Structure 1
Amino acid sequence: MKQINVALLLYEHALASSLSLPAEMLSAADNFNRSRKGPSTQLTITLAGQSKEAVSHSGGILIQPHCRYQQLDNIDLLILPALWRNPIPVVRRNDEVSQLLRLSYQRKTQICSVGTASCFLAEAGLLDNKPATTHWYFMDAFAHRYPEVKLQRAHLITQADNLYCVGSVNSVADLMIHFIEQFYDRATAREVESHFSPEIRRTYKEHSFVEGEVSSHGDESVIQAQQWLLEHYQQHLDSTQLAAHCGLSVRSFNRRFRAAAGMTPGEYLAKVRVDIAQGLLKDSNLSIAEVAFAVGYQDSSHFSRLFKQLLGQPPSSYRKSVRGKLFSLPEQTP
């Protein structure tokens, strides 16, 4: 029988939803797999805390740990729940978490941080010179506090070795589908996916940044430029400076970029910005003007025109359509 050991860490002010959703999805996977194949797997989910006392989570929810951090052993997947608002005070008070993470990383345990819990990995020094993401609300503060981390602002999921970061609770569902396929099989993953909002799911591959992967065109100078644009999408595009950054003349840079990417640097940047704006329109309550500003546009009217040009509908209509998918009930047939 295949043993699958998953641990969820408990600490104050964490979002209970970022614990319950992964646990429910993994439990559903194990139940479905056992219904098909019999007792071929055994999933164990352990809640670990600094002590054996119940931990108060965001919303006043108390959760009782099964064991202390130090008692964890033989873990296949370690999940760090998201923190509400500023995570730094909680990170500073939980040095034992950093110690556990360093040990788990050495043991090749797969570690997944949700939202601002990526600060635990960064504080432990595990993300130095590695790609990572965090919740959009905390990205600027994260970049300032951890300059050695290669923050991927345009990606909701990153992977570097056995370290995974997801930007939000919604995104952890996409990553769980990836782990379910890894622990069980594709059929089990698809079954679980069908029960957890399939209309809004995106695959792990679709929106993840995996360290070591490169774009399919293979032009390293263009890849370097694309990566710079992904990481600095809020900044004004200066083709002269970007070309120099890649060691090319402006003319050669523009020619090679179009040949490799099939679009100009400006068109690529616009696509990146609109992709990020889609997530903000779906998952946040920012106004259209605030979304425009968040992705690098001072003029919300220009942003709206560009959004409609690329997606066929203005931002306001897009927001209504995706939120309709999230919250509307199916029509009743007589």
Structure 2
Amino acid sequence: MPPETLAELQPLLQQEPWLRTTLHAVLDNLDQEGFDTQALAEESHMTVTQLQRRLKQTVDLSPARLIRQLRLQYALDLLHQGQDNLGTIAHKAGFFDQAHFSRAFKAQLQSSPKAYRLQHQNGTLWSGMIDKMRQKLNPDEKG
């Protein structure tokens, strides 16, 4: 999600409480490789069909795409921190393995994770985006 979406997301979270629950569920399960559309629907207290319809109408994303985009954003955050190797980042972001992570990353960003890290070693506007999203969703929570 582009940075401007965070500002645009706030009114939606006020109008659509289910969206807050859904985003919390994704963010809380980013590292769970098996967390998928079915699991998200259960965490959101909806059927898969309801979840698909509501997400499409509200943010124009499928549940699977929402999960994948937030996983990739989390991986970007970890890449910018520069502390973990690519296999660890893949695992922390909920990808099956490093190869799966690299394919998804390259499909989305047209760059391998390694090349991206080398090009962006000093951090960018994206750095820390998942933490910022968590803070917007629950401003009372610290960390």
TM-score (norm 2): 0.69
What amino acid is the match of 1:229?
V
Q: How far has the Cα of 1:239 moved from its partner?
A: 2.8
Higher relative contact order (CA 8 A, sep 6+): 2
Q: How far has the Cα of 1:206 moved from its partner?
A: 8.3
Q: How far has the Cα of 1:260 moved from its partner?
A: 1.2
The corresponding residue for 1:229 is 26
Structure number with bigger Rg: 1
Matches within 5 A, 1:102-251: 214=10, 216=12, 218-235=15-32, 236-251=34-49
Tell me, which stretches of 5 or more residues in structure 2 are unaligned? 124-143
Change (3 A) 1:316 1:215: farther
Q: How far has the Cα of 1:254 moved from its partner?
A: 1.2
Contact preservation (8 Å) 1:237, 1:266: no
Among 102, 105, 118, the residue aligned to 1:304: 102
Q: How far has the Cα of 1:306 moved from its partner?
A: 0.7
Kindly indicate which of the two structures has a greater share of residues assigned to helix.
2
Kindly indicate which of the two structures has a greater share of residues assigned to strand.
1
What amino acid is the match of 1:231?
D
Q: CA RMSD for the aligned pairs?
A: 2.7
Change (3 A) 1:270 1:260: same
What amino acid is the match of 1:230?
L
Matches within 5 A, 1:1-334: 214=10, 216=12, 218-235=15-32, 236-323=34-121
Contact preservation (8 Å) 2:86, 2:98: yes
CA deviation vs aligned residue, 1:48-78 (integer Å, no higher than 9, x gap)? xxxxxxxxxxxxxxxxxxxxxxxxxxxxxxx
How many correspondences in the alignment? 118
Contact preservation (8 Å) 1:215, 1:223: no
Contact preservation (8 Å) 1:258, 1:264: yes
Contact preservation (8 Å) 2:30, 2:70: yes
Change (3 A) 1:224 1:314: same
Distance in 1, matches of 2:92 and 2:16, equals 30
CA deviation vs aligned residue, 1:100-157 (integer Å, no higher than 9, x gap)? xxxxxxxxxxxxxxxxxxxxxxxxxxxxxxxxxxxxxxxxxxxxxxxxxxxxxxxxxx
SS of the counterpart of 1:258?
Answer: helix
CA deviation vs aligned residue, 1:271-312 (integer Å, no higher than 9, x gap)? 111111112112223211111011111211111111111122
Distance in 2, matches of 1:206 and 1:247, equals 25
What amino acid is the match of 2:12?
S
Distance in 1, matches of 2:109 and 2:64, equals 17
Distance in 1, matches of 2:61 and 2:5, equals 20
Distance in 2, matches of 1:305 and 1:277, equals 13
Runs of 4+ in 1 over 6 A off after TM superposition: 205-208
Tell me, which stretches of 5 or more residues in structure 1 are unaligned? 1-202, 327-334
Distance in 2, matches of 1:298 and 1:228, equals 19
What amino acid is the match of 1:257?
L
Contact preservation (8 Å) 2:102, 2:112: yes
Distance in 2, matches of 1:233 and 1:259, equals 23
